[in-house]
C-alpha cells in the first residue's frame, strides 16, 4: 500500500535548517514539525517564528504537531506561519470541536493527536470533527524513543471506527517508526507515517525515506 512519509525536523541539525530541508525535498511527502512547550510535554522546541523561517526553504505541506497546553490560543500563529495541517492533543484541549473548526476555517487540515495511553474510545464523538487522527506510538517529548507495540491494536480499532462511520479521516502514526515498525502500523490502517531519527539520523535521507516506503509497499490494504 501507499503511505505518505513525514520526516520530523526534530531530529535534524537545528543550526542548519535550510540545508536539512533540502535533503528531504525530493522524497518526503510532508514535513512534520514538533511544537513543544515544556508544560504539556517535558521539552521545549520551536514556535511559529521558526516554522515561518522554514517555510521559504520547503515546498512540502507543513504538518504541525502541537504538543502544547491551551493549543487553541496559538492556532492563529501557526496558520499565519504557513501550517497546512495542524494537530492538537485531545488531552490538552477541553473545547476540541471549536479548536478543530478554527484550524479548518484557517484553511488547514485539522488533526486530533492522542497519547499512547489514551484509548480509541475517547475519539468516539470527536472523530467526526477532524481530518486525521495522529496516534502517538511513544510518549511525546523526544525523538528516538522505542516504538510501543500496544498501539497497533488501537490503530486497528480507530481504523474500524472510521470505516463503520463512513468517514474520510486519515490515521497518522508518530514515534519509533522505521522500516521494521512501519509495516505493522500500515497494516493496521495508518496512511501517514512520521519518522524522525529513522530519516534525519541517517546520512542519506532520501534513501532512508524510500526504505520505509519500500517496507510498506507489499503490505495489503
Q: Which residues are catalytic?
A: 34, 174
Does the footprint of Zn ion cover residue 37 (CB under 5 A)? no
**Minimal distance in Å, beta carbon 120 to ligand DX5?**
19
Using the minimum distance from each CB to Zn ion, give the nearer residue, 97 or 145.
Answer: 145
Tell me the three-class secondary structure of the chain, residue by residue. Answer: CCCEEEEEHHHCCHHHHHHHHHHHCCCCCCEEEEEEECCCCCCECCCHHHHHHHHCCCCCCEEEEEECCCHHHHHHHHHHHCCCEEEEEHHHCCCHHHHHHHHHHCCCEEEEEECCCCCHHHHCCHHHHCCEEEEECCCCCCCCCCCCCCHHHHHHHHHHHHHHHCCCCEEEEECCCCCCCHHHHHHHCCCEEEECHHHHCCCCHHHHHHHHHHHHHCCCC
**Closest residue by beta carbon to Zn ion:** 65
Interface pattern 154-193 for Zn ion (x via CB under 5 A): --------------------x-------------------
Does the footprint of ligand DX5 cover residue 89 (CB under 6 A)? no
**Minimal distance in Å, beta carbon 155 to ligand DX5?**
16
Interface pattern 99-138 for ligand DX5 (x via CB under 6 A): ---------------------------------------x
Using the minimum distance from each CB to Zn ion, give the nearer residue, 44 or 128.
Answer: 44
* 84 interface partner picked from Zn ion, ligand DX5, none, CB below 5 to 8 A per type: none
d(C-alpha 150, C-alpha 147), whole Å: 9
d(C-alpha 22, C-alpha 212), whole Å: 19
Does the footprint of ligand DX5 cover residue 71 (CB under 6 A)? no
d(C-alpha 206, C-alpha 195), whole Å: 12
Interface pattern 159-188 for ligand DX5 (x via CB under 6 A): ---------------xxxx-----------
- The interface with ligand DX5 within residues 8-27 (CB under 6 A) comprises 8, 10-11
* 183 interface partner picked from Zn ion, ligand DX5, none, CB below 5 to 8 A per type: none
Interface residues with ligand DX5 (CB under 6 A)? 8, 10-11, 32, 34, 65, 138, 140-145, 174-177, 194-198
Amino acid at each position: 500500500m501507499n503511505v505518505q512519509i513525514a520526516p520530523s525536523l526534530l531530529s535534524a541539525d537545528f543550526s542548519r535548517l535550510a540545508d536539512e530541508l533540502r535533503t528531504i525535498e525530493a522524497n518526503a511527502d510532508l514535513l512534520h514539525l514538533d511544537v513543544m512547550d515544556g508544560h504539556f510535554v517535558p521539552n521545549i522546541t520551536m514556535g511559529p517564528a521558526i516554522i515561518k523561517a522554514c517555510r521559504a526553504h520547503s515546498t512540502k505541506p507543513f504538518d504541525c504537531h502541537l504538543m502544547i497546553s491551551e493549543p487553541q490560543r496559538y492556532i492563529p500563529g501557526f496558520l499565519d506561519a504557513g501550517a497546512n495541517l495542524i494537530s492538537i492533543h485531545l488531552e490538552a484541549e477541553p473545547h476540541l470541536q471549536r479548536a478543530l473548526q478554527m484550524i479548518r476555517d484557517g484553511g488547514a487540515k485539522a488533526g486530533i493527536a492522542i497519547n499512547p495511553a489514551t484509548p480509541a474510545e475517547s475519539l468516539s464523538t470527536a472523530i467526526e470533527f477532524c481530518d486525521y487522527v495522529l496516534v502517538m506510538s511513544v510518549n511525546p517529548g523526544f525523538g528516538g524513543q522505542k516504538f510501543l507495540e500496544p498501539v497497533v491494536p488501537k490503530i486497528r480499532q480507530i481504523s474500524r471506527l472510521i470505516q463503520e462511520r463512513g468517514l474520510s479521516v486519515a490515521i497518522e502514526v508518530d514515534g519509533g517508526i522505521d522500516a521494521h515498525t512501519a509495516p505493522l502500523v500500515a497494516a493496521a490502517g495508518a496512511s501517514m507515517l512520521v519518522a524522525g531519527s529513522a530519516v534525519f539520523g541517517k546520512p542519506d535521507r532520501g534513501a532512508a525515506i524510500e526504505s520505509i516506503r519500500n517496507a510498506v509497499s507489499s503490505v495489503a490494504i
